[in-house]
Every structure is written in structure tokens, then in C-alpha cells.
Amino acid sequence: MAASIALVDDDRNILTSLSLVLQAEGFTTRLYADGEAALKALLDNPPDLVVSDIKMPRMDGLELLRRLREKSPVPMIFLTSKDDELDEALGLAMGADDYIAKPFSQRLVIARIRAILRRTELTQRPADGSAPEPQAEPIVRGRLAMDPARHRVTWDGHDVTLTVTEFMILESLAQRPGVVKSRSQLMDAAYQEDVYVDDRTIDSHIKRLRRKFRESDPEFDAIETLYGAGYRFAEG
């Protein structure tokens, strides 16, 4: 069954163009002109993923995300203006999975959608009828435990709620403790497509990862920065 993508934007041109491109890629789409129009429909019949503008009349994207997160874990990607850094930070802190700055390439949007759906196991079965890829094995590194099949992370037995992108970055680091991963390598792990993501995006995800773990353990220091090289998950 084709994955369902809800598009929420007050710009009719963006809704129409994105919808056509996504349908050509095999997705089904649902279109909404603002957050208020989308909210009830998305709660009554959740899509597989939401792509939403932030700046909209009646109900903006941040309020839509807040209301959705009260009842639904549906993944969300924000569309933002290049000068909306505060909104981007707020959206990611509230649980958005990613953001894309306008103007954007349609190829980039598709790549981000596929990366998130791949992680949440909502992509279509291969067209040739072959079996889905086997699920990744759980990862245990000291006090950290990750279950990719259930998208669950614990630290000292306490649940840590991560977005899809945060989970993929942490998984890449935890797979090989002590090994330094460059920002480019973490970009590849998080997006799994040949797309450009700037360094600031990866650094922001790392900051949020640390903050979330420190809510459970103020002494958390397992994600280390190697200045000029990248990041690593501490051994031992």
C-alpha cells in the first residue's frame, strides 16, 4: 500500500507541485490550506507523514505540531523560510523530525520523506515482491540500549524519546563506539540519499540528543565532540 503524505501549506502552488511530484513517486497525498483545516482530519485518519509550512493563517505549523503530538506520533517535516531559525529550533524541540528551508528542491523533499519513512517502516514493499529488509538487531552500549525495530531508546532503563533523524544519528555513532564519524558520514546515515545538509543541521541534532539524555542523566557525556573531525560515542 502506498504511503500517505499530508501536505499543509497556505501556498496553493506548493501544495499542487509537491502533490504531483509525490504522486509520481508512488505516494498518495492529502492537501490542506492551513493547520486548522488539517488538524481534525489528521487526528481522525493519521497519514504516514506530514509535510507542513510553519507560517500559516488560522493555525500555524508549530501549533499544529503541538496539537498533533498530544495524541499522535506521526512524523512531521517542517517547511521554513531561511530566516526562521528560531521557529526551526522550536519545531525540532517540540518533536518535528526535520525541516527544509524554502526555496527547496523537490528532490530534497522526496529524499527526506523516504529517509524518515524507511526508518519508521512505512515504505512500500518492493515492487518485485521480494521480502522486506531484515530488521536491525538491538544495540547495547553500556547504559545505552537501542531497539531499531521498535524505535525505542533507553539510558539506564529510562526511555529517551527521539525523532527519527536523531535516532538514526545516534544509531550510526553507537554502532562503532570510539570511532569518529564526520558530519558527512552522519548526514549519510540520517538521510540515506545523495542530498546536501549543512553542518549546522547535524550540530543542532547533536545538541538536542545531548539535551534529551541529560534530562534523564545530567552527567551524560557519551557523545563526544572531536573538534575539526566530528563526533563519536564514547567507549566503555
Residue 128 domain-assigned (yes or no): no
The dihedral built from the CA positions of residue 142, 147, 153 and 156, taken in this order, carries a sign that is: negative
How many domains are there within the chain?
Answer: 2
Q: What are the Cα distances from residue 68, in Å, to 107, 157, 210?
A: 27, 27, 25
| pLDDT, tens only, 201-236 | 788 889 989 999 999 899 999 999 999 899 999 976
Residue 49 predicted with pLDDT over 80: yes
Number of Cβ within a 10 Å radius of residue 214: 13
Please state, in angstroms and rounded to a whole number, the distance separating the CA atoms of residues 99 and 81: 10
Last residue of a domain, one of 65, 90, 119: 119
Spatial neighbors of 205 by CB under 8 A, at least 6 apart, are 92, 165, 166, 169, 190
Residue 193 domain-assigned (yes or no): yes
Q: Which domain holds residue 84?
A: 4-119
Please state, in angstroms and rounded to a whole number, the distance separating the CA atoms of residues 29 and 91: 23
Write the DSSP symbol of residue 81: E
Last residue of a domain, one of 84, 119, 154: 119
12 shares its domain with 101: yes
Residue 131 domain-assigned (yes or no): no
| pLDDT, tens only, 71-114 | 888 999 998 875 666 666 677 777 788 888 888 888 888 888 98
Q: pTM for the whole thing? A: 0.65
Please state, in angstroms and rounded to a whole number, the distance separating the CA atoms of residues 27 and 148: 24
147 shares its domain with 89: no
- Name, of 61-70, 84-93, 158-167, 197-206, the range with top average pLDDT: 61-70
CATH number at residue 204: 1.10.10.10
Give residue 97's pLDDT.
82
Give residue 88's pLDDT.
66
Residue 4 predicted with pLDDT over 90: yes
